[in-house]
Amino acid sequence: MTPSFDLSGRTALVTGANTGLGQAIALGLAAAGADIVAVGRSAPTETAEKVSALGRALHAIPADLSTTAPLADVVAKARDAVGDIDILVNNAGIIRRADSLDFSEEDWDAVIDTNLKTAFFLSQAVARTWVGAGRGGKILNICSMLSFQGGIRVPSYTASKSGLAGLTRLLACEWASKGINVNGIAPGYFATNNTEALRADEGRNRDILARIPAGRWGAPSDLAGAAVFLASDASAYVHGTILTVDGGWMAR
């Protein structure tokens, strides 16, 4: 049987799709045929225009994902607007930097709540609709190289992304028998607004590139293929994996 990467007729709910990696993932899924529900605090105006240019539809739902309060409403609004959700991408995330000796409880809670707690409870809310309807679905969690490594000065981010990788495996174990695939993508160093300062620092940029076997920063579009694979029927027997898209960084 020829593996199918076609997402025609499917709808993907993507959090944090307004810019950067989330936008690239949404566009990749749209190019494969999926319609998009974009959830986040900022209006995904540019993403909507690009999705439309691909011949697909985007429905935006404003929500502050730093708390679980809006999640039930988000899922209900999405289903009212577009029908069933077929794919969930937990991409929204934040980072706070400080030495661990000085790191505040406020910054700890803010990152854990957004990156880990919201991802779990949104996954739960969507999965409940699938189980209730007797159908399966696809969940993609956007992890990090710090799902595997320690990093420095980002204790809550490292904890959240390590936790998200563990949560990916746990949910895969619980939900695979229900027809739900739960997997993760761990991006490496990508050229986005978040890494502009690193790329502008000649020394840091040189050191980072020296560690990447591919010899370049990732382009956001480099994530599209991995996202389409894990969202499509081609990955029907893939459960609980964390796919690194890092130019070989983790293999070094």
Mean pLDDT calculated for residue range 52-81: 98
Query: What does the pLDDT read at residue 19?
Result: 93
The pLDDT value recorded for residue 158 is: 97
Which residues form the catalytic set?
A: 157
CB burial of 42-53 (b: ≥16 within 10 Å; e: otherwise) equals eebeebbebbee
Give me the pLDDT at residue 195, please: 85
Domains belonging to the chain, first-starting first, are 11-193+219-245 (3.40.50.720)
Average pLDDT, the chain: 97
Global pTM reads: 0.97
Q: What angle do CA 231, 11, 34 make, to 5 degrees?
A: 70
Query: Over pLDDT 90: what percentage of the chain?
Result: 96
Per-residue pLDDT reduced to its tens digit, 166-208: 999 999 999 999 999 999 999 999 998 878 888 999 999 999 9
Q: What pLDDT digit, counting tens, does each position of 85-135 carry?
A: 999 999 999 999 999 999 999 999 999 999 999 999 999 999 999 999 999
3-state SS assignment for residue 194: helix
| Cα–Cα distance, 54 to 11 (Å, whole number) | 14
